[in-house]
C-alpha cells in the first residue's frame, strides 16, 4: 500500500482495503459543466472559469486576499460580469499565483457581497484555455482534521484498482431483488456520471445506493444470526424449579399476573428448561410489571439449587429491586443479598462471602456485580435491567462470572423503552423477545399538561393545595448535560426554593451525587409518606414506585429526550388517585421542541413515543449501541429502508442454510475485523 494511501487509511481508522472502498460520499459537486458568471445565483454552488483581472491584499475589516475574476479580464466593457473571491487565510505563493491575466477555474457557493457576487474560500486551480472538464460528479467524503478531499479521492481511486471488487452475492438473489452488481454500484457512487439524478444520489434512492444499503443490512443480519447459532452451540444448566418456589411466590401475591405477564413467564420458563443459554429481551412499557416476571425467572434458578443475579444501572433502581425482591422472597425463606460499589468494609466482605459460598441465592446490585473479587458459587441466570444503559462488554463480563464447567448462565434483559419493530429486526436479530403489552389493573391514566415557565408560580401554588390534600408529588429538576455540578446546583437551588415557598410541607431531595445510604433514606421516607414533595434529578427516572405520589412537575422538560420524559412520567399513576404530569417549558421554543413536547402530551403509548424518539435520536443512541461497540449502520435508514431490511433478513436465512461460502465472502467484505461485540 503506497505511503499516502496508508496515511489515509490510518487517519480514517481503517485497517483494510475493503473498508476504504466502502468509505462512501456524503454528497456530490457538479464540476462537469461551467456556469457563466452572469448566470450565477446566490446559494447555488457552481463551477466558473475566467481570468484574474485584479488581485489585492486588503486590510478592512481584516487582512485578506481579494481576487477579481472576469470571463475575459481585458474586456473593455465596464459592465462585464465580475466575480470576486476572498481568501481570509493565504500564503505569499497564492498571491503570486493569482496574478492578473492567469486563467482560473473555481468551484464554490456565490453570495451577495459589498461589490456584487463573491465566493469565500472556493476551491480553485489555474487552467489553460480548453482544459477538459471533469467527466463525473465530484464526491465529497466524510473526513477528519488534516485530511483533504483530494487525498481521500486519490487513495480511494488507488485502492479501487487493487481491491477485490468481485461479486459476492448469487446472481439469482440479485435478479429477484432487482439489484445492480456490486462493482458497478460502487464505481457509480464514487464517480457518478453527469446524467445521474442528484436528488436520487443525495437521498440514497439511486439503485447503486439501494445495492450498498442491502449489502450492509445483509452483513448485519448474517453476523447477528451467526452469533445466535454460535450461542445455540453453548451449553447451560436446565432450570426446572424442583422446589415449586414459583408456584408459592405467585400464590403469595395479593394480585394475579396479567395475561401478558403469564405469556412472558411461559416463554422464559420454556427457554430455561433447555440446554442452551437463554438470550431473551423482556420489553414492556413503564409500569407493565417486568420485575414480577424477572422474579419468576430468578426463582427457576433458585428452585434448581442455583444462584440468580439482578443488575441495574443506577443505585436507586438497584436498591428498589433489592427492597422488592426481599419483600417477595424472604417470606419464602430465601436470602437476597445487596452488592454495590458503595458497600464497604465488613458488610462488603460478608456479602462477597455469601455470594461465593452460595448462601446468597439472589444477588441484586449495580455494575459492582461483575467487578474483580466477585465470585459466584453457581450463577445460573443473570437479569439485566435497562439493558441499553450497559455496554456489551459489561454484559459479557457478568455472564463470564457465571461460567461453570463449560456451562453458561442464562441471560434475561429488560427494557422499559419499547423498541420499534424495524429496530428490533435490525439490531436484536440474535435475541428472542417477550413483550408485556398490557398494564396491570389499577394503573390510572396520567393527564399530561404543557405549562410555560411564566406560570411557574401558579404551579408551586397548585403543589401546596395538592399536598395539603394528602397526596405526594415529585419536582424533577432540569437536565444540565454540560456539567454535573450545574445540575447539582439546579437541584439544590430548587430544593431551597421549595422549602421557602412551601414551609408547611416536608420537602426532600435526591440527586446522583448523594451517598447511597442518603439516597436510600430519602426514598424510604418518601415512600413512607414522611416527605410530601421530593425534589430530584433524573436519577428517579426508573425503578421508583410510590403509589401515593400522583403529581409530577418536570422543570425545563424541553431539555429531555422523549423516552426519558415517558420514563419519568411513569413514576406517577401507580395508585388509585388521578395522576398528573406537568411539563414546564421555556418560553422561546423551536418548532421541533414544541412538536416533541406535544408528542408526550398527546400519547401514553410507549411504542408510538419510541418511534418518534428513534427518528429524532437515531438507533445508536436509542439502544445505547454507540457506547457498546455494536457495529452501526452507516448507509441504511431503518425508518425508510424497512423493505430492504425484510429482504436482507430473508436472504440471510437462505444463505446461512444453503450457501456458507457466500456468507463468508460477504462478511469478509463488510465486517473484515469480525463482528466483535455483537449483542451479548
Report CA Rg, the chain.
31
Between CA 503 and CA 481 the distance in angstroms is 31
Q: Residue 64 — φ and ψ, nearest 5°?
A: -160, 160
Between CA 345 and CA 358 the distance in angstroms is 20
Cell numbers for 252: 403469595
Model pLDDT, residue 32? 87
Between CA 503 and CA 677 the distance in angstroms is 53
Between CA 218 and CA 94 the distance in angstroms is 49
* DSSP string for 580-597: EEEEEE-SS--HHHHHHH
pTM of this structure = 0.68
Cell numbers for 446: 396520567
Model pLDDT, residue 402? 63
Rounded to the nearest 10 degrees, what angle do helices 591-602 and 606-617 cross at?
160
Model pLDDT, residue 225? 85
Cell numbers for 530: 414522611
Between CA 389 and CA 401 the distance in angstroms is 20
CB atoms within 10 A of CB 92: 8
Bridge-partner residues for 384, per DSSP? 311, 413
Between CA 341 and CA 372 the distance in angstroms is 12
Model pLDDT, residue 614? 67
Side-chain-side CA neighbours of residue 296 (13 Å)? 24
* Stretches in the chain below the pLDDT threshold 50: 391, 481-483, 625-630, 675-680
Name the nearest CA neighbour of 360 among 379, 332, 343, 384. 379
Looking at residue 404, the DSSP 8-state letter turns out to be B
List alpha helices for 505-561, DSSP H.
Answer: 516-527
Q: Each residue of 507-547: pLDDT tens digit?
A: 999 887 777 778 878 888 998 899 999 998 877 655 567 88
Between CA 381 and CA 307 the distance in angstroms is 7
Name the nearest CA neighbour of 311 among 391, 372, 365. 365
Beta strands in 149-306 (DSSP E): 235-236, 279-284
Q: Each residue of 208-251: pLDDT tens digit?
A: 999 999 999 999 899 888 877 877 788 889 998 888 999 999 99
Domains defined along the chain, listed by start: 33-133 (2.40.50.140), 235-436 (3.40.50.300), 446-603 (3.40.50.300)
Between CA 221 and CA 214 the distance in angstroms is 10
Model pLDDT, residue 479? 60
Between CA 536 and CA 419 the distance in angstroms is 27
Amino acid at each position: 500500500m503506497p505511503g499516502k494511501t496508508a496515511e489515509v487509511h490510518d487517519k480514517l481508522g481503517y485497517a483494510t482495503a475493503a473498508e476504504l472502498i466502502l468509505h462512501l460520499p456524503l454528497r456530490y459537486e457538479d464540476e462537469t459543466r461551467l456556469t457563466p458568471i452572469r448566470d450565477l445565483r446566490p446559494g447555488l454552488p457552481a463551477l466558473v472559469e475566467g481570468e484574474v483581472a485584479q488581485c489585492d491584499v486588503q486590510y478592512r475589516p481584516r487582512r485578506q486576499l481579494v481576487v477579481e475574476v472576469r470571463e475575459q479580464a481585458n474586456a473593455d466593457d465596464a459592465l462585464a460580469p465580475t466575480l470576486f473571491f476572498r481568501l481570509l487565510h493565504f500564503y505569499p505563493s497564492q498571491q503570486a499565483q493569482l496574478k492578473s491575466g492567469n486563467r482560473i477555474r473555481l468551484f464554490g457557493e456565490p453570495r451577495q457581497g459589498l461589490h456584487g457576487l463573491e465566493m469565500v474560500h472556493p476551491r480553485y486551480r489555474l487552467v489553460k484555455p480548453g482544459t477538459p472538464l471533469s467527466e463525473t460528479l465530484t464526491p465529497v467524503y466524510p473526513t477528519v482534521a488534516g485530511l483533504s478531499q483530494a487525498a481521500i479521492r486519490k487513495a480511494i481511486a488507488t485502492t479501487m484498482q487493487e481491491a477485490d471488487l468481485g461479486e459476492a452475492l448469487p446472481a439469482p438473489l440479485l435478479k429477484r431483488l432487482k439489484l445492480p452488481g456490486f462493482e458497478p454500484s460502487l464505481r457509480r457512487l464514487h464517480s457518478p456520471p453527469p446524467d445521474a439524478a442528484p436528488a436520487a444520489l443525495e437521498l440514497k434512492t439511486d439503485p447503486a445506493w439501494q445495492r450498498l444499503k442491502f449489502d450492509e443490512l445483509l452483513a448485519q443480519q448474517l453476523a447477528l444470526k451467526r452469533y445466535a447459532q454460535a450461542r445455540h452451540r453453548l451449553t447451560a444448566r436446565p432450570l426446572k424449579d424442583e422446589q415449586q418456589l414459583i408456584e408459592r411466590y405467585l400464590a403469595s401475591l395479593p394480585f394475579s399476573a396479567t395475561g401478558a405477564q403469564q405469556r412472558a413467564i411461559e416463554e422464559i420458563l420454556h427457554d430455561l428448561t433447555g440446554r442452551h443459554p437463554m438470550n431473551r429481551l423482556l420489553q414492556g412499557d413503564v409500569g407493565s410489571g417486568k420485575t414480577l416476571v424477572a422474579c419468576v425467572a430468578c426463582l427457576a434458578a433458585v428452585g434448581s439449587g442455583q444462584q440468580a443475579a439482578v443488575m441495574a444501572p443506577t443505585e436507586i433502581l438497584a436498591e428498589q429491586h433489592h427492597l422488592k425482591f426481599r419483600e417477595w422472597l424472604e417470606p419464602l425463606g430465601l436470602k437476597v443479598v445487596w452488592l454495590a460499589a458503595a458497600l464497604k468494609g465488613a458488610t462488603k466482605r460478608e456479602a462477597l462471602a455469601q455470594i461465593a459460598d452460595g448462601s446468597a441465592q439472589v444477588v441484586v446490585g449495580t455494575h459492582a456485580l461483575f467487578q474483580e473479587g466477585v465470585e459466584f458459587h453457581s450463577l445460573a441466570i443473570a437479569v439485566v435491567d435497562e439493558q441499553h444503559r450497559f455496554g456489551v462488554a459489561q454484559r459479557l463480563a457478568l455472564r463470564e462470572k457465571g461460567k461453570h464447567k463449560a456451562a453458561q448462565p442464562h441471560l434475561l434483559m429488560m427494557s422499559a423503552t419499547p423498541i420499534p419493530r424495524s429496530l428490533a429486526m435490525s439490531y436484536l436479530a440474535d435475541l428472542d423477545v417477550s413483550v408485556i403489552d398490557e398494564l396491570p389493573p389499577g394503573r390510572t391514566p396520567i393527564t399530561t399538561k404543557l405549562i410555560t415557565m411564566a406560570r411557574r408560580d401558579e404551579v408551586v401554588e397548585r403543589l401546596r393545595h395538592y399536598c395539603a390534600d394528602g397526596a405526594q408529588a415529585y419536582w424533577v429538576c432540569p437536565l444540565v448535560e454540560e456539567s454535573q455540578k450545574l445540575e447539582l446546583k439546579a437541584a439544590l437551588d430548587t430544593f431551597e426554593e421549595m422549602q421557602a415557598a412551601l414551609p408547611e410541607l416536608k420537602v426532600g431531595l435526591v440527586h446522583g451525587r448523594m451517598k447511597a445510604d442518603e439516597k436510600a433514606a430519602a426514598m424510604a421516607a418518601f415512600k413512607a409518606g414522611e416527605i410530601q414533595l421530593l425534589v430530584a434529578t433524573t436519577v428517579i427516572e426508573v425503578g421508583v414506585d410510590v403509589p401515593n405520589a400522583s403529581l409530577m412537575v418536570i422543570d425545563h422538560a424541553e431539555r429531555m429526550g422523549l423516552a426519558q420524559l415517558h420514563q419519568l412520567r411513569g413514576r406517577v399513576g401507580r395508585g388509585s388517585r388521578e395522576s398528573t404530569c406537568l411539563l414546564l417549558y421555556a418560553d422561546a421554543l423551536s418548532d421541533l421542541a414544541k412538536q416533541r413536547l406535544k408528542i408526550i402530551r398527546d400519547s401514553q403509548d410507549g411504542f408510538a413515543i419510541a418511534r418518534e424518539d428513534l427518528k429524532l435520536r437515531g438507533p445508536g443512541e436509542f439502544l445505547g449501541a454507540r457506547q457498546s461497540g455494536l457495529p452501526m449502520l452507516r448507509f441504511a435508514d431503518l425508518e425508510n429502508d424497512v423493505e430492504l431490511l425484510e429482504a436482507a433478513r430473508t436472504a440471510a436465512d437462505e444463505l446461512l442454510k444453503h450457501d456458507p461460502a457466500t456468507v463468508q465472502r460477504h462478511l469478509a467484505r463488510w465486517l473484515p475485523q469480525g463482528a466483535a461485540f455483537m449483542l451479548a
